[in-house]
A and B are shown apart, each in its own frame.
Chain A
């Protein structure tokens, strides 16, 4: 079974530019999460999709961030325009959870974003 994949693995852009990150979850996983980790800090929740619907986007920093999951398969996270504080590692995770407590999340390798 293929794991969660993310593209690109690294991205270096200048302040003001646009970057789009992509996540392909494990096939059949309805739940897709985006997280961000800044060096030495916690893994911070950004948003949660169930299939193509945004279930919770309370962690999105501001309107410069736009996430989509068309068709309920892969997801994209666009940052436009990027700011210095957007630098960090962006993780995507997926799970099969539909109800109840069990929630094993499978993380992708992450995209390291550096904004100069």
Chain B
């Protein structure tokens, strides 16, 4: 059974940084492209970032986070990360770790979802 477990969320002030982690099990982690999707309280879903399999040579970002967030992975630890810098109030959301179907980040869909980790940016 595929399991994705996010951690690292919490309350931070505007301008601060936070790193989310997603520990994966039940899959061949290094072969899996992965992504982060977020959902602000009471709002819709927003794709945030994606990373290719096999070391994560290719990364992709939504315009809303480009230059502030960095996605990465450690295949030796079966863990996905999202480093979030210069956080803003509008980054407040539940952040879901997701696995793309197939081998690539393109022409795919979000096959598995974690339970999410809440990030709150407030002074």
B is bound to A: no
B residues apposed to A, CB below 8 Å: none
A residues apposed to B, CB below 8 Å: none
